[in-house]
Amino acid sequence: MATNAQRRAQTRGCLINAARHLFAEQGYADTSTETILSGAGVTRGAMYHHFRNKAELFEAVCDLLSREAMAAIEKAVAGQRGNLATLKAGSLAWVDFMARDDVRRILVVEAPSVLGQERWRALDERYSFPLLREGIREAMEEGALHFSGSAEGLAVLLNGAMNALVLNDPWAENLPRLRRDLLALFDCFSGERP
């Protein structure tokens, strides 16, 4: 028999999973609370026990996707040799994760307006940006990346470039070239030539 805590976690998970699917397919604005409740198989009261509103549920979906992105990055960098190789592998893993239409729509296209810039940046700061900043710092200390500015500054610049990269349309058609371009950008700072 499930405990109350297990039932609460299951209800929360059902809400997040239903909302994730619907937000990806229909977008935030076109997804009604009633549709989410129906998809999750829960009551309005159950939803409001876990989330104050649809926007808070959307943020929970963004948080879940951000954690999944972290797992994809960690898997991609496992076993890499050298800080530059690790940085490249992690960055490509982030791009590949964002290449998924559902993730791209929720995290990159809709999250800045639904969450607002401050909360969207806070989400990035909680998950992927620290990995990028640390990877750049380590590669600079190792001498694998050359930049006369700070690691923080380069991380901000590359983070912006990578976010712009995943907004490029037509996305699927341009992905192979954009991946090569990202590696070429890293090579500009490393002194390597492709």
Model confidence pLDDT, tens digit, residues 18-39: 999 999 999 999 999 999 999 9
* In the predicted structure, residue 173 carries a pLDDT above the cut 90: no
pLDDT band at 175 (very low <50, low <70, confident <90, very high): confident
* In the predicted structure, residue 193 carries a pLDDT above the cut 90: no
* In the predicted structure, residue 16 carries a pLDDT above the cut 80: yes
- Distance in angstroms (rounded) separating the CA atoms of residues 181 and 184: 5
Amino acid making up residue 133: R
Whether a cis peptide bond, with omega within 30° of 0, leads into 170 is: yes
The H or E element that residue 30 is part of is none
Q: Which two tokens stand for residue 86?
A: 């690790």
Single pTM value for the model: 0.92
- Distance in angstroms (rounded) separating the CA atoms of residues 58 and 66: 12
